[in-house]
Structure formats: structure tokens, C-alpha cells
């Protein structure tokens, strides 16, 4: 017998919301967006939320968790802060954060909303983010943009993270070929049937955690859902 069907809200309650929400970042404000860009760079580089959160906290203690502070700091100062947060490869990441911050200020007045407003479509928006600094690639741009599909129309067509989609398929929320490209409309429609409707960004983050731990590995024995995992038989 397989486990019962979970709702999106239940999954978020079990596995947690989007990292930006966990870290208190207001993505509706430019200041929150700026801090989220820093966090997304940290997160994409390691794929480890705990490491990224600790590093972001260490930067915040020194006023270096947003482009304004980072642009005026030397890479060595930033690297010391990251090292204090036990973040690996601190020098490389510090140089990336400083360069991105300097370019964001010079090209877009420090405003990520301004950067997005000047982009026509997802490809152009992603390219503008990647162009901020060497080492910021498509994966970082996608990490940054996924919780912003509702805010920036150019980001709406960003596909689900592969780990999130794998988990949604294993949960039988999506068919094998659903939401493979573009706006995750099938998942949106499913979540819209819940009351209250959970935020897509929170559900995608919870699905991503689930997918990385179990679904991409085809390892139901590692699934944190226990008996509610459809891949287990009891």
C-alpha cells in the first residue's frame, strides 16, 4: 500500500519554505532582492542551504550581505567574513560577490528591479544576471529567479528545478511529461485547488529538498516523508 496524497501546504510544513522566507528576505522590496542575490550566489555555489545561511549571517554581521556594502569592501574582507561562517572556497566566492555588486551599482543603480525592467524575456533577463560577474552562470540566475516568477513577468517561463520536478512526479502531482519546459502551469493549477493556496516558491523549494534527498537518487528509503512516500510499500 502506498502513502496518502499530500497537499502542497503539508509538504511545506514538513520540509520548510523557500530559503528567502527562512532567512527573512522580503522579495517585494529592492533591499530584500539585493540580499537574495547574494544568498542565491552562495546557495548555487554549494547547493547547501545550511552553509549558505551561515555564510549570509556572517556577512550580515559585518554589513556585507547586500551589494552596497560588498561593492565598497575588498575581496579579502569579504573572504574573511565567509571563512568566519565556515564557507568553503571563500576567496573565489568573495571576488564574485564583490564584482557582481560593483557591476550592479554601475549598470543598474544597484536595483535588481531595474535590471529586470530592462529585460525582454527570460533569456535576456538571465543573461543580464550572468553578466554581473564571472562565475555567475545560468544555475545561479535560475536560483535567483525561481521565487520571482510572480514579480517579474520575464521570469514566469522559468522551468521547475529538476529535483523539484522529479519529486512532483514521484508524488504523482505531475505526469512524466508535464511541466518539463516553461511556466510550471500544471503544478500551479494543482496548487490552486488548495485553500489557502500555497506559494509556488515555497512548494518548489520543499520539492527540491525532497528530490535531492530521495527522488533523483531513486532511493525511497531515504525519503523524509516516511510512510507517506508513494515509493514505499508498507
> Cβ(174)–Cβ(165) under 8 Å?
yes
The mean pLDDT value for 187-215 works out to 96
- What is the per-residue burial (b if ≥16 Cβ within 10 Å, else e) of 106-130? eebebbbbebbeebeebeebbebbb
> Cβ(199)–Cβ(191) under 8 Å?
no
pLDDT confidence of residue 118: 87
* Distance (Å, whole) CA 185 – CA 8: 15
* Distance (Å, whole) CA 42 – CA 133: 14
| pLDDT at 234 exceeding the cut of 60 | no
The larger pLDDT score, comparing residue 219 to residue 7, is at 7
pLDDT tens digits along 170-193: 999 999 989 899 999 999 999 999
The CATH number that domain 28-150 falls under is 1.10.340.30
| pLDDT at 203 exceeding the cut of 90 | yes
Please state at what angle helix 75-84 crosses helix 49-61, rounded to 10 degrees: 120
| pLDDT at 232 exceeding the cut of 80 | no
pLDDT tens digits along 139-167: 999 999 999 999 999 999 999 999 999 99
pLDDT confidence of residue 3: 52
pLDDT confidence of residue 210: 96
Could you identify the residue written with the cell 564557507? 87
C-alpha cell recorded at residue 47: 547547493
Could you identify the residue written with the cell 552562495? 42
pLDDT confidence of residue 230: 85
| pLDDT at 121 exceeding the cut of 70 | yes
For the chain, where do the domains classified as CATH 1.10.340.30 start and end?
A: 28-150
Instruction: Burial-class residue 166 by CB neighbours within 10 Å (0-12, 13-18, 19+).
Output: buried
pLDDT tens digits along 22-69: 999 999 999 999 999 999 999 998 778 999 999 999 999 999 999 999
Amino acid at each position: 500500500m502506498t502513502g496518502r496524497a499530500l497537499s502542497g501546504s503539508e509538504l511545506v510544513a514538513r520540509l520548510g519554505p523557500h530559503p528567502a522566507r527562512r532567512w527573512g528576505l522580503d522579495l517585494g522590496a529592492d533591499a530584500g532582492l539585493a540580499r537574495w542575490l547574494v544568498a542565491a550566489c552562495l546557495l548555487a555555489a554549494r547547493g547547501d542551504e545550511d552553509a549558505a545561511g551561515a555564510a549570509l549571517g556572517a556577512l550580515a554581521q559585518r554589513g556585507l550581505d547586500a551589494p552596497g556594502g560588498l561593492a565598497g569592501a575588498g575581496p579579502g574582507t569579504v573572504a574573511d567574513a565567509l571563512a568566519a561562517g565556515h564557507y568553503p572556497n571563500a576567496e573565489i566566492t568573495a571576488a564574485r560577490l564583490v564584482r557582481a555588486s560593483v557591476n550592479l551599482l554601475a549598470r543598474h543603480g544597484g536595483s535588481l528591479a531595474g535590471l529586470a525592467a530592462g529585460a525582454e524575456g527570460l533569456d535576456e533577463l538571465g543573461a543580464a544576471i550572468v553578466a554581473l560577474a564571472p562565475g555567475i552562470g545560468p544555475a545561479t540566475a535560475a536560483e535567483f529567479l525561481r521565487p520571482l516568477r510572480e514579480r517579474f513577468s520575464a521570469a514566469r517561463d522559468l522551468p521547475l528545478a529538476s529535483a523539484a520536478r522529479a519529486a512532483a512526479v514521484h508524488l504523482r502531482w505531475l505526469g512524466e511529461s508535464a511541466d518539463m519546459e516553461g511556466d510550471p502551469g500544471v503544478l500551479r493549477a494543482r496548487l490552486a485547488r488548495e485553500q489557502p493556496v500555497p506559494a509556488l516558491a515555497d512548494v518548489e523549494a520543499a520539492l527540491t529538498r525532497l528530490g535531492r534527498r530521495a527522488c533523483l537518487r531513486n532511493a525511497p528509503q531515504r525519503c523524509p516523508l516516511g510512510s507517506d512516500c508513494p515509493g514505499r510499500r508498507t
